């Protein structure tokens, strides 16, 4: 019994190292972009392709993970993905031109796309059903750890070493993960089925165009740009054609069972919406602290770190409470805590203390943990084991798309509101004749108008950030009705694992919960 538990732990550690490595790379490079720009002789517009190329490649290659896992085996796909991601990370760090960097970032996205969904499916198959909540708790910690630690770790590595270490840090993590997967991760049952190339091409085109729209929209003023219009039309048309194909064709890219499972579909929609709030908040706070409150990178990271601690504590707690109470209650409590924290943040001023920032961060972290674990658990409660790989891919895609939508939403509204608020404040400012006479009195006071302009910008920023926090609060509250769509899982005696493959339980293990 102890040896079985030990093997489960080694499997979890091995695959979670790979997951953390991949998720970390979505945010760790952000703070290093200015340093890369100089080394690679790139413009401010060109350097953003370092982020865009990775995000788009990762989103597209998440789609076929379910098929590849069933066709070639989950263990083999894991080993290839971790090896490719680790090597491409090292080559990113050695890049001497922008073209090389973009090429290897695309390779990173291609190989890294499968790591999060494969880790989730592997944990569900490795652990018996009564431990699924704890498994999703461990997986959730890894998924949430990346966005939280990414900017802080990236800033420290760039400041004290070099931007190249943002990528080199993946090498030792990848080697440890590779050894653990090779030694301990079991394979899954393989299935021979044809690949729906047309369905994949249409859905990949839709996802890729949508990601490009979200990533480049702010730089190109959204639909004022012909390029963004092209992405929007392409995404809508490809999605429509995919829907028609998937409904009418005998060979379907997405299994009908995924869309017919109420819990899975509701959980996927829920994780999409809540991901908008998670990464959008993390996109706002570092800039708020560094640009407008003047915090150094290291200080901003220390102030934001308690948010991650709160998330990990509540995920650990949720993994143990799920088996003793209705998981939907935990989700509702989590929504309440996240909404309350955003309500408190909507009263921030530029004089807000570190104490208040830390408190709201801990509160929000506690809420996110109570949300993420029960939703991940409920989404797979009624899903047959044969659909787990495919379901985990779509679940990860929804999480990533929600994150992209959230960042694009807050950045667009922040830029627009700052411009509007600055014009409004300037229009209401009254300058007395005495001040006008003082401003024109001599060259020694020429800095005074710049100081006034700076103060107007600070006031406009303060209002804009508050409005964004308020918007995110309402988005968080809007997820409450989705809790009613989640069915409560019925208790069942744990089933013994199948020989050689612990997760290969038959469909009947899950059928009892469908009636819920």
Contact present, 378 and 486 (Cβ < 8 Å): yes
Contact present, 348 and 342 (Cβ < 8 Å): no
Determine how many CB atoms are found less than 10 A away from the CB of residue 412. Answer: 15
- Nearest of 303, 28, 282 to residue 150 by alpha carbon: 28
Contact present, 228 and 261 (Cβ < 8 Å): no
DSSP annotation of 488: P
Task: Tell me the C-alpha distance between 357 and 355, whole Å.
Answer: 6
Contact present, 276 and 402 (Cβ < 8 Å): yes
Contact present, 22 and 59 (Cβ < 8 Å): no
- Token code pair at residue 384: 């047959």
Question: For each of the chain's 516 residues, which pLDDT tens digit applies?
Answer: 455 666 777 888 888 888 888 878 777 777 677 778 778 887 766 777 787 788 788 888 888 888 888 888 888 888 999 999 999 999 998 888 888 888 999 999 899 888 888 888 888 777 777 777 777 777 777 777 766 677 677 777 777 788 888 888 889 999 999 998 888 887 767 777 778 888 888 888 988 888 888 877 877 878 888 988 999 999 999 999 988 888 887 777 877 777 788 888 888 888 888 888 877 887 788 778 877 888 776 677 778 778 878 888 888 888 788 878 888 888 899 999 999 999 999 888 888 888 888 899 899 888 988 888 888 888 887 888 778 778 888 888 888 888 778 877 887 888 788 788 777 776 666 555 655 555 555 554 444 466 667 777 778 888 888 888 999 999 889 888 888 888 776 654 343 333 334 333 333 333 333 333
Of all residues in the chain, what percent are helix, strand and coil, respectively (each to 5)?
80, 0, 20
pLDDT score at 507: 38
Q: Left (φ > 0), alpha (ψ -120 to 50) or beta: where does 77 sit?
A: alpha
Contact present, 181 and 14 (Cβ < 8 Å): yes
- Nearest of 188, 201, 160, 279 to residue 498 by alpha carbon: 188
- Token code pair at residue 230: 């092209």
pLDDT score at 236: 93
pLDDT score at 148: 67
- Token code pair at residue 505: 């339980």
Sorted by sequence, the CB contacts under 8 Å of residue 230 that are 6+ apart come out as none
- Distances in Å between the Cα of 346 and the Cα atoms of 324, 339, 350, 353 are 35, 10, 12, 14
With b for 16 or more beta-carbon neighbours within 10 A and e for fewer, the 5-25 pattern comes to: eebbebbbebbbbbbbbbbbb
Task: Tell me the C-alpha distance between 282 and 299, whole Å.
Answer: 15
Backbone Cα Rg of the chain:
24
φ, ψ of residue 69 in degrees (nearest 5): -65, -40
Sorted by sequence, the CB contacts under 8 Å of residue 315 that are 6+ apart come out as 137, 140, 141, 144, 369, 372, 373
Contact present, 59 and 79 (Cβ < 8 Å): no
DSSP annotation of 507: T
- Nearest of 191, 192, 58, 51 to residue 115 by alpha carbon: 58
pTM: 0.74
pLDDT score at 438: 56
φ, ψ of residue 498 in degrees (nearest 5): -70, 150
CB-neighbour burial class of residue 279 (10 A; exposed 0-12, middle 13-18, buried 19+):
buried
């Amino acid at each position: 019994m102890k040896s079985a538990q030990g093997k489960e732990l080694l499997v979890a550690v091995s695959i979670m190292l790979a997951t953390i490595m991949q998720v970390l790379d979505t945010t760790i490079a952000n703070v290093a972009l200015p340093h890369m720009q100089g080394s690679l002789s790139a413009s401010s517009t060109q350097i953003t392709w370092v982020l865009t190329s990775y995000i788009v490649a990762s989103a597209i290659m998440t789609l076929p993970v379910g098929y590849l896992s069933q066709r070639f085996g989950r263990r083999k796909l894991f080993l290839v993905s971790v090896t490719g991601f680790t090597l491409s990370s090292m080559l990113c760090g050695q890049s001497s031109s922008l073209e090389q960097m973009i090429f290897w970032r695309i390779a990173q996205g291609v190989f890294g796309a499968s790591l999060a969904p494969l880790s989730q499916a592997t944990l569900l198959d490795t652990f018996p059903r009564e431990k699924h909540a704890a498994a999703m708790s461990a997986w959730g910690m890894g998924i949430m750890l990346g966005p939280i630690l990414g900017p802080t770790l990236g800033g420290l590595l760039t400041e004290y070493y070099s931007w190249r270490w943002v990528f080199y840090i993946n090498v030792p993590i990848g080697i440890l993960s590779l050894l653990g997967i090779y030694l301990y991760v079991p394979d899954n049952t393989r299935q021979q089925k044809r690949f729906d190339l047309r369905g994949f091409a249409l859905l990949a085109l839709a996802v890729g165009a949508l990601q490009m729209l979200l990533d480049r929209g702010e730089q190109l003023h959204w639909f004022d740009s012909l390029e963004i219009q092209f992405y929007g039309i392409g995404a809508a048309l490809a999605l429509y054609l995919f829907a028609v194909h998937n409904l009418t064709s005998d060979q379907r890219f997405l299994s009908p069972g995924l869309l017919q499972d109420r819990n899975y579909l509701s959980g996927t929609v829920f994780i999409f919406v809540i991901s908008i709030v998670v990464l959008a908040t993390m996109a706002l706070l570092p800039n708020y602290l560094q640009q407008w409150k003047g915090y150094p990178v290291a200080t901003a990271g220390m102030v934001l770190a308690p948010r991650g601690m709160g998330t990990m504590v509540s995920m650990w707690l949720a993994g143990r409470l799920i088996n003793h109470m209705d998981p939907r209650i935990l989700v509702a409590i989590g929504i309440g805590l996240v909404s309350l924290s955003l309500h408190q943040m909507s009263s921030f001023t530029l004089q807000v203390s570190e104490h208040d920032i830390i408190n709201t961060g801990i509160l929000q972290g506690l809420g996110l943990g109570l949300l993420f674990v029960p939703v991940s658990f409920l989404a797979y409660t009624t899903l047959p084991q044969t659909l787990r790989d495919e379901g985990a891919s779509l679940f990860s895609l929804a999480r990533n798309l929600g994150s992209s939508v959230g960042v694009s939403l807050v950045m667009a509204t922040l830029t627009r509101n700052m411009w509007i608020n600055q014009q409004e404040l300037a229009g209401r400012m009254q300058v007395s004749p005495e001040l006008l006479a003082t401003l024109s009195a001599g060259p020694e006071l020429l800095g005074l108008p710049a100081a006034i302009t700076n103060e107007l910008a600070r006031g406009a920023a303060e209002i804009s950030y508050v409005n964004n926090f308020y918007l995110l609060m309402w988005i968080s509250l809007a997820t409450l009705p989705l809790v009613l769509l989640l069915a409560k899982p019925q208790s069942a005696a744990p089933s013994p694992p199948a020989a050689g493959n612990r997760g290969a339980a038959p469909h009947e293990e899950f059928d009892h919960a469908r009636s819920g």
